[in-house]
Amino acid sequence: MIVLALTLRNGAHEPPMWSLLCLATLLLFAVQVVFDALLGLRLPARAAVLVALPYVAVLAWLLVQSLPNLTPGLAHPFWAAAPDGALPTISAHPDAGRQVVMRLACYGMLFWIFLRSADAATEGGYAYIQAIALFSTALAIYGFVTLSIGYNLLLGQEQVATIMQASFLNRNTYATFAVFGVLANLTAYARAVSGSRSRDGLVALRDFLEAFFSSGWIYAFGTLVGLAAVAMTLSRGGVAAGAVGVAVLIWGLYHGARGASEMKLGRLVIPLVIFVFVAVFMTSGVLARLAPIETELRSTIFRHVLAGALDRPLLGHGAGTYPEASRFYMPLELARSDTQWAHNSYLENAFEFGLPAAALFFAALGVIGWRLFQGTRTRRRNQAIPAFALACFVAAAVHASVDFSLQFPAIAALFAAILGVGWAQSFSTRRGEPGKARRPRVDEL
């Protein structure tokens, strides 16, 4: 509830909002640690050390960047212009770096909280996916209402009649959230209509229709509304990320678990029809109105950000320093403008963290992605959950190469929650847990 609610005010981009998120998360994490001490840890939680160690190491380095009175030769060149009495640091803006560490620690705690909750839940965390699906549908409907009336109450401003923003000032950021919602609706739809195991065609059709009109239609409708919302953001990066995410999810649901997937070919018909409908809708005018990507401008920014990263490859410029430190490397016309983001999270992290720390940070995320991929391929029970998380992982990774959605606290928090739920269900339960009874195999009888 906390994570979803914070999306209602521009993705919790203001310091009071992300501070509230971090405080609430810390309190919940403290309660979770008490339960962990009492109940012990199962395999998914123990395996998370593979992610925790490099992640915590990166956070420790980002704190070191903000420590004063280090060896003078390590201080950022900006400190040469500081007045007497200043305390130089590796970072060009140590206060910003501490805020980044606070947010990253919050995301790590959310990952753990959702991992433990989904691991203990009866249905493995499907309730979280359903909540994301329903909430995203409601927010998309709100966005369409604002387009029709011309005013956005949540943002307190006039609404542009041709661009979907919902509760976000930046349409690209909302596109990432809407993509997560589409993937959640597709996964919930697969779950809702996967009850029948009958080989009789008529019986299976009857079961499918009963499941569809009982609850499946809600998620089919949510998929339609979500896809239309993504298209109406006019975000090419968002549309591309959504298309890749949907492809990965359909692959995961259909080909995962060695043929025991939760979505058979017949149940793909309605989602595919919806996808084709939206694709045709886009080509009938929306595609022509998609905001063009400033290819030359972004390539210029990327080139100079890379030059800045290579200028301090080991130390970096400090977490959160891109808006200030990047101006030194930009042409005059760009340096004068308000450039808060590099429009490429990978380059921006390399610029701020330094190449070794950025590589370690990406390695930690890569371990999660690999585990989700393995879970999608090998799980039988609750296999759709890691498939959903993998699709969100890939979609976010694609969009991060051209935009900055994951740098909004509410989006990053939701992403961490999704990864935690997916990680919890990415491990096989066919081998017994230590201390738990298991059914003996035939060759043991």
131-187 pLDDT, tens digit per residue, is 999 999 999 999 999 999 999 998 888 887 778 999 998 999 999 999 999 999 999
Q: How far apart are CA 114 and CA 418, in angstroms?
A: 8
Does residue 404 contact residue 342 with C-beta atoms inside 8 Å? Answer: yes
429 band by pLDDT with thresholds 50, 70 and 90? low
Distance of CA 131 to the CA centre of its chain: 16
State the average pLDDT for the chain. Answer: 84
Handedness of CA 129, 135, 139, 144 (dihedral sign): positive
Instruction: Indicate the angle between helix axes 217-232 and 269-281, nearest 10 degrees.
Output: 20
Question: 38-77: per-residue pLDDT in tens?
Answer: 988 999 999 999 999 999 999 999 999 999 877 778 888 8
How many residues in the chain?
445
Q: Is the pLDDT of residue 282 over 60?
A: no
Categorize the per-residue pLDDT at 430 as very low, low, confident or very high, splitting at 50, 70 and 90.
low
* pLDDT tier for residue 381 given thresholds of 50, 70 and 90: confident
Whether 210 has a pLDDT exceeding 50, the answer reads yes
Whether pLDDT at 314 is above 70: yes
The confidence score (pLDDT) of residue 393 equals 98
Q: Is 423 helix (H, G, I), strand (E, B) or coil?
A: helix
Check residue 412 and give its pLDDT: 96
**Can you tell me the distance from the alpha carbon of 413 to that of 152, in angstroms, rounded to the nearest whole number?**
24
pTM, two decimals, is 0.89
Cα–Cα distance, 264 to 270 (Å, whole number): 12
What is the rounded CA–CA span in Å between residue 245 and residue 239?
Answer: 10
Residue 74 CA, distance from chain mean position:
34
Tokens found for residue 6: 């914070």
Where does the pLDDT of residue 81 fall: very low under 50, low under 70, confident under 90, or very high at 90 and above?
confident
Alpha-carbon span 141 to 27, nearest angstrom: 33
Q: How confident is the model at residue 321 (pLDDT cuts 50, 70, 90)?
A: very high
CA angle 314, 320, 326 (to 5 degrees): 70
d(CA 313, CA 352): 10
Beta carbons within 8 Å of 217's beta carbon, 6+ residues apart = none
Nearest Cα residue to 185 out of 211, 214, 206, 215: 215
Q: State the pairing for strand pair 151-152/157-158.
A: antiparallel
Confidence grade of residue 341 (pLDDT, cut at 50, 70, 90):
confident
